[in-house]
């Protein structure tokens, strides 16, 4: 009986570690995008006399996000909701900036700006993939801890990464 308990507990712990690993990768790809934003802002400022309000909103949203910490061991719905809200704010500001940039021929012709757009697009694709992988790991973990005998051990469910309203719509950017 003790061996059965140990094996079940160890399997649940392994599942929880897989969720934490996937969450770390989600944070990693969001950080990659966050690291590109200052470069984008500098390029925009250097290439054009751009609307300061949007650049400030983008910087403030990024600053607020740096203060949000999500504990990979808990991954509560509230923590993830706060993280997602911050990411949605940042995405909205970034989208505003990109839409305005589309209307600026000087900026559209800037190769550094175009290169950064390609990198940001790549980051957005990575974010999508890693969020999917995270949710798959959470699904496996939650299913495991609900089944007998793991359900007897009292492990808590992990929260899923939920899509924000309108997150499935990307801004259409045409720089040509």
The b-or-e profile of 77-110 (16+ CB within 10 A means b, else e) is: eebbebbbebbbbbbbbbebbbeebeebeebbeb
Specify the pLDDT at position 132. 92
User: Which distant-in-sequence residues (6+ apart) come within 8 Å of 32 by Cβ?
Assistant: 123, 126
User: Which distant-in-sequence residues (6+ apart) come within 8 Å of 16 by Cβ?
Assistant: 73, 141, 155, 158
Query: What integer best gives the mean pLDDT of the chain?
Result: 81
**pTM of the full structure:** 0.74
Q: What is the pLDDT of residues 89-124, one digit of tens each?
A: 888 888 887 887 777 777 777 788 888 888 888 988
Residues of the chain above pLDDT 70, percent: 88
The CATH fold assigned to 2-153 is de novo design (two linked rop proteins) (1.20.1440)
Specify the pLDDT at position 174. 45
53: number of Cβ within 10 Å? 10
Whether the Cβ atoms of residue 36 and residue 61 lie closer than 8 Å to each other: no
Q: What is the pLDDT of residues 128-171, one digit of tens each?
A: 899 999 999 999 999 999 999 888 888 888 888 886 655 544 44
pLDDT surpasses 80 at 50: no
Cα 94 from Cα 126, distance rounded (Å): 17
Specify the pLDDT at position 138. 93
């Amino acid at each position: 009986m003790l061996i059965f308990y140990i094996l079940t507990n160890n399997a649940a712990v392994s599942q929880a570690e897989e969720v934490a690993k996937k969450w770390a990768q989600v944070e990693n790809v969001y950080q990659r995008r966050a690291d590109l934003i200052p470069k984008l802002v500098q390029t925009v400022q250097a290439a054009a006399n751009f609307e300061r309000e949007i650049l400030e909103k983008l910087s403030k949203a990024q600053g607020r996000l740096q203060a949000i910490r999500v504990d990979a061991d808990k991954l509560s719905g509230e923590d993830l909701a706060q993280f997602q809200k911050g990411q949605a704010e940042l995405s909205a500001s970034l989208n505003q900036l990109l839409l305005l940039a589309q209307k600026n021929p000087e900026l559209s012709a800037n190769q550094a700006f175009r290169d950064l757009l390609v990198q940001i697009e790549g980051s957005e694709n990575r974010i999508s993939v890693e969020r999917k992988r995270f949710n798959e790991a959470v699904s496996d973990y939650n299913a495991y801890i609900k089944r007998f005998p793991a359900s007897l051990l009292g492990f808590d469910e992990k929260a899923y990464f939920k899509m924000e309203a309108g997150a499935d719509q990307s801004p259409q950017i045409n720089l040509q």
